[in-house]
């Protein structure tokens, strides 16, 4: 994904929040539609500006991982 893109910013914030739990990070990005697999979507690149990761989804993802 392009460095400095809005999707990269959201990914960086999720990495800070979840550490090395890739399942939580990329699962969240896929669920909110910013990525498909490990690639940023065109829709995601447009929508990511100002997008915050949902708290409830992250909470569920952390429960699944541990």
pLDDT band, very low/low/confident/very high, at 58 (cuts 50, 70, 90): low
Average pLDDT for the chain: 75
Q: pTM for the full model?
A: 0.60
Answer whether residue 1 is part of any domain: no
Answer whether residue 60 is part of any domain: yes
- Supply the range of the domain harboring residue 34: 6-65
Q: State the total domains in the chain.
A: 1
Of the candidates 9, 3, 2, 1, which has an alpha carbon nearest to the alpha carbon of residue 48?
9
Q: Which pLDDT tens digit goes with each residue over 27-44?
A: 988 888 888 887 888 877
């Amino acid at each position: 994904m392009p460095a400095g893109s809005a999707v990269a910013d959201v990914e960086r914030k999720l990495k800070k929040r979840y550490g090395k739990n890739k399942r939580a990070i990329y699962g969240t990005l896929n669920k909110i539609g910013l990525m498909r697999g490990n690639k940023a979507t065109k829709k995601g690149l447009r929508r990511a500006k100002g997008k915050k990761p949902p708290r409830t989804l992250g909470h569920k993802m952390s429960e699944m991982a541990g």
